[in-house]
A and B are shown apart, each in its own frame.
Chain A
């Protein structure tokens, strides 16, 4: 028997794991649904009310959330998840939000032109001429295809666009 020092066991890196966080969030959602559901009568088993099934689903979601959390030790550490594209993603979401806000106010074609000019010209830094051509071409061609040919109702702004 020797007293040579044993190599230290390789410990799993410590920290919050992705499944731990997502499981906890699902439990929170389940609790929120159960709380919001309290205003609807659950009725009796023989005559279940409008709150009965949502409550069942909320309980099920909570259980699955707990299971995900408990089994989450093998999932990646939260700080190893890469969010490299998140900034661009956020810009796209905000641009979409502004476009939705504008859609019924300034009309379909102007909104699409503005959105495409922003995405191509500002986000993708394309040259002004191709940007403008694509924006105008898409807005008018898609309007013609959907509103004129396929009779889909699309909003027009105060200037007829």
Chain B
């Protein structure tokens, strides 16, 4: 405990320096804007900002990008509550009861509870991150190639089980991502694979063009030409204060949302999206008056908003402790660290204590900044929503081209982004989840290396994966998930998506 406090003090000595503080603030403001604007989610926002962090020191870079991430979680709630437009996917559930509250003249308390819930969940999750990440990192030092193989395969199965779509479709998309990750030079043999003479593909396909194409461009292709948004309410500061009854009703959902969000955040997948759906389903189930849900129940705002913020923080645990991203957003952040020559993994916390603890402390600061931004300044941010989408999307499109080009000054990357945009658009039409593609792409080299090293270690025997206790435990967990996924097919029962109402809303 004393060690953690000393480390945290070290962290605050970093996080409270003027430059880190300024970038944390900038990240939170940009994140809030990114979360509010439809067509520009946190992933596209972070990807576009990535080139701008190359000239910064690694602590400032990661603080800025993570500020964008959890800032977007806060910002996404504003458009959901006021306009029934989810600024990003994790805010879809907030639309349901948040907008119903707006229609009943309770937009202020809905915004306030969303901000308070996000703040509480964000802060509690940072405390959990602080204790869990170093423990997990110490444990991960026992991992060899077979354990990493088992961990990655289990991760893909967890991702597919927890995804909002069907399991085979999610796994197929993960494999598409893994195949994209095979493009370029093979690290073990030096062969250049699938590059068809394009020199730029020798280094493989980068995560940024793929992420911006799949998530940013495809969203614009789907939404361009939509009608101008309706008139927006702008609550005054006094109207933001929730009633005592609303506060009482929100305490339980915020606590549960924080816990659920953090737990889901640790496992792979679009954690912040899934956590908000699961939290909403649980709150509806636990309520004595479930009929209030959909008609302006404050619990339907408090739970999902807390959950998506907690999940955003939870996702940093495997990223920092194991060097394994649980989703495309943490994958881009890992890329940002690698650009600065920092190798994320179990040794990161020991080798870079200033970076890790400075990052943790900056999250405390960021949550306070976001609470200030999202309560008294909400009226200011709402003005941005008055810009017609017909002006907004061309600018976002230009930002996509600018951001992708500037990562490595390559037009090939922009062509990849355009191709991925078209691909993502078609996949969305066919109800495929896009996140596994980005995750597969980033994990492909790690998975290939660990599979080949494991086989080399064992002299060609797949038995190595079943000789080692940690790997066996992971495969057993994966087998349980497969059985759980098969259960609804065999017994014709509802699976978890139907139980939490995910299929109704997705």
Contact = CB atoms under 8 A, between A and B. Distances in A.
Contacts of B398: 112, 115-116, 138, 142
A134 B406 CA distance: 22
A155 B402 CA distance: 10
Interface in A43-99: 44-50, 52-54, 56-58, 60-61, 64-65, 67-68, 71, 75, 81, 83, 85, 88-89, 92-93, 96-97, 99
Interface string B40-64: 0000000000011011000000000
A3 interface: no
A152 B411 contact: no
Contacts of A40: 191, 193
B182 interface: yes
Interface string B372-412: 00000000000000000011001101110110011001010
Nearest to B218: A89
A49 B402 contact: no
Interface in B412-429: 414-415, 418, 421-422, 425, 429
A57 B191 contact: no
A58 B456 CA distance: 22
B193 A100 contact: no
A130 B399 CA distance: 19
A146 B51 CA distance: 9
B395 A138 contact: yes
Nearest to A95: B397
A56 B55 CA distance: 40
Contact of B429 (A46, A54, A65, A83): A83
A100 B411 contact: yes
B430 interface: yes
Could you tell me the dominant secondary structure of chain A's interface residues?
helix
Given A57-B179, A100-B401, A100-B414, A48 B221 contact: no
Nearest to B192: A50
Given A49-B189, A104-B411, A85 B394 contact: no
A97 B194 contact: no
A47 to B, nearest CB: 6
Contacts of A155: 409
Interface string A1-24: 000000000000000001101100
A64 B160 CA distance: 12
A68 B168 CA distance: 6
Interface string B183-216: 0001011010110000000000000000000000
A151 B10 CA distance: 31
B230 interface: no
Contact of B455 (A19, A29, A45): A45
Contacts of A33: 179
A93 B423 CA distance: 11
A68 B170 CA distance: 10
B406 A142 contact: no
B394 A116 contact: yes
A108 B401 CA distance: 10
A150 interface: yes
A110 interface: no
Contact of B171 (A64, A146, A152, A153): A64
Contacts of B432: 22
B4 interface: no
A117 B52 CA distance: 26
Contacts of B425: 89
Contacts of B341: none
A50 B422 CA distance: 30
B451 A50 contact: no
Nearest to A149: B52
Contacts of A65: 172
A52 B452 contact: yes
Contacts of A142: 398-399, 402
B506 interface: no
Contacts of A64: 168-169, 171-172, 175
A44 B119 CA distance: 54
B249 interface: no
A67 B168 contact: yes
B287 interface: no
Contacts of A116: 394-395, 398
B182 A88 contact: no
Contacts of B169: 19, 64, 68
A150 B168 contact: no
A120 interface: yes
Contacts of B405: 103, 154
Given A119-B397, A124-B390, A50 B189 contact: yes
A91 B255 CA distance: 47
A93 B221 contact: yes
The 8 A-B residue pairs with the shortest CB-CB distance in the complex, in nearest-first order: A45-B460, A46-B460, A64-B172, A89-B221, A119-B394, A50-B186, A50-B191, A67-B168
Interface of B: 51-52, 54-55, 166, 168-169, 171-172, 175-176, 178-179, 182, 186, 188-189, 191, 193-194, 217, 220-225, 390-391, 394-395, 397-399, 401-402, 405-406, 409, 411, 414-415, 418, 421-422, 425, 429-432, 447-448, 451-452, 455-456, 459-461
Given A57-B182, A153-B409, 18 more contacts: A19-B169, A44-B460, A45-B461, A46-B456, A46-B460, A53-B182, A61-B176, A61-B179, A64-B168, A64-B169, A68-B169, A99-B401, A100-B411, A115-B397, A124-B390, A126-B391, A138-B395, A142-B399
21 contacts: A19-B169, A46-B456, A50-B191, A57-B182, A58-B179, A64-B172, A81-B430, A88-B221, A89-B222, A89-B422, A92-B221, A96-B414, A96-B421, A115-B394, A115-B398, A116-B398, A124-B391, A124-B394, A126-B390, A152-B406, A154-B406
